[in-house]
A = this chain, B = another copy of it.
Amino acid sequence: MPGQSLFLKLVEKDLSEFEEFLHHSSDKDVRQLLTELHSADVADIVERIDEDSRSRLMSLLDSVRAAEVLSLVEEYHQADILEAIPEDKLPEVVEEMDSDDVADILDDLPTEEAEEILDAMPKEDSDEVRQLLSYDEESAGGLMQKELVKVTPDLSLAQAAEVVRGQADEASDIQNVYVVNEQGLLKGFFPMQKLIFESPQKKVSEVMNENFFSAPVDLDQEKVAEMFRKYDILSLPVVDKRGTLLGRIMVDDIVDVIQEEASEDIYRLGGVDTEEHISDSPFRSMRLRLPWLLVNLMTAMLAASVVGLFKETIQRLVILAVFMPIVASVGGNAGTQSLVVITRGIALGELEFGNAKKALFKEVVSGVLNGILIGLIIAIVGFFWVGNPVLGYVLGLAMICNMFVAALAGTAIPLILKWVKVDPALASGVIVTTFTDMTGFFVFLGLATIFMSYLI
């Protein structure tokens, strides 16, 4: 594919050369170049070029391609790309898109703009989209598309093939033909290839599989993704409470969900708002990060006030202040280790309450064992640094206690959050390190206070 290597050349440099080309070439030349590029690559480019270039590019795409591009750009950029499409072309473009993609875009637009677009659509299509918009964006209903192929069980396969042929125009990537009764209730499915490999005289009811998975329309997207992952399926029908077939979810949308959920977990662990995006302005990302920093400031003050309790001790033996960061840092790291393993286990469905006790036991054992090792090392370091063995004991003992608390906090906090049905990933590093900082300082400085007579 010539367009492919061209695209790679384009992104390796930055895109100013491409913008130049857009503005100084004839419509015909630009169109020629665009035919050589995959829509996903056009989507990639259009996200990054300036507004003028974007308008020019989108106006030169035919509506099928424009629809593809609009479906493939990142959600974050969709509203901007939509702006770039000439208003008179918009209805055509929207009509070419899958219902779920239209709903996703409209969901992010101001209500008025969304209504305008809906009004310009054929009533049948806009009804579908309106229905999709009524579901929670992060539920099965929010993920599904209305486009699918369905037949009734009484048809022969030859008749079914005819019906499917009529529906296939609308629906792309058909793996399964769904079977519904006259009330629209989902009764089963069969893989598309049965239409080729089985005798055309056979009835749909003979070849269909009645043992199928389906997602209730209000199922959370994380659970939906888990079904796809676990059962290795490519598409999943969505039903309402009565079992009426409402739509289907495709695996490529699930790929995006998994990516999104992973990003969210990583962001939360690092104390970053999940709404933040790498292309945000400095001011937006400043605003989004400030609350987390303020929480951290508050928790850090808690830790500081623990130190404040021991001002006199530090006054008498200032080397304690030197070792404070070590106790805090290693303890915080150990707590984060437990936290990461536990929250990931919960996110992947590998950790339930059934095996939580075992996990807690394991974390505490491995935490305390490492505490003993690290404690020994730091005790020796402390002895040689200061020349007083008692300081070594105090440091070592503080480290063991801190690692115990670290394992406990890193395990228990996400589990408790899950228990009270809060997202366990909200137990970001900040909360756990507050615990380890406070205990670390308290035990270390407390022990030093008790054994002060041996220390100076």
Which residue numbers of A lie inside 8 Å of B, CB to CB?
Answer: 1, 11-15, 38, 40, 44, 48, 72, 161, 164-165, 168, 173-175, 191-193, 195-197, 211, 213, 228-234, 251-252, 254-256, 258-259, 262-263, 265-267, 269-272, 276, 278-283, 285-286, 289-290, 292-294, 296-297, 299-301, 303-305, 307-308, 311, 314-315, 318-319, 321-326, 328-330, 333-334, 336-337, 339-342, 344-345, 348, 350-352, 354-355, 359, 361-363, 365-366, 369-370, 373-374, 377-378, 381, 429-430, 433, 437, 441
Contact = CB atoms under 8 A, between A and B. Distances in A.
A258 B262 contact: yes
Nearest to A323: B304
A336 B11 contact: no
A328 B326 contact: no
Contacts of A269: 266, 269-270, 340
A367 to B, nearest CB: 8
Contacts of A433: 329
B258 A255 contact: yes
B328 A325 contact: yes
A278 B341 contact: yes
A251 B329 CA distance: 42
A383 to B, nearest CB: 14
Contacts of A211: 1
A296 B333 contact: yes
Contact of A229 (B12, B255, B297): B255
14 contacts: A12-B354, A72-B232, A173-B191, A255-B258, A270-B337, A270-B340, A272-B341, A278-B351, A283-B366, A293-B333, A300-B326, A300-B330, A304-B322, A307-B324
A304 B378 CA distance: 12
B258 A293 contact: no
Contact of A234 (B252, B304, B334): B252
Contacts of A340: 266-267, 269-272
Contacts of A289: 334, 337, 366, 370
Given A175-B175, A263-B344, A340-B272, A330 B255 contact: no
The A contact surface, by secondary structure, is helix
A307 B336 contact: no
Looking at A278, A355, A361, which has the most chain B CB atoms within 10 Å of its CB? A278
Copies assembled:
2
Smallest CB-CB A-B distances: 6 pairs: A262-B262, A270-B340, A282-B365, A300-B329, A286-B366, A278-B345
A308 B355 CA distance: 45
B337 A272 contact: yes
Contacts of A369: 282-283, 286
A267 B348 CA distance: 13
Given A251-B255, A285-B362, A296 B354 contact: no
A350 B161 CA distance: 43
Contacts of A173: 175, 191, 234
A363 B164 CA distance: 53
Contacts of A351: 278
Contacts of A1: 211
Contacts of A339: 270
Nearest to A225: B255
Given A278-B345, A337-B292, A324 B326 contact: no
A318 B40 CA distance: 60
B272 A377 contact: no
A312 to B, nearest CB: 8
A314 B318 CA distance: 7
A322 B330 CA distance: 19
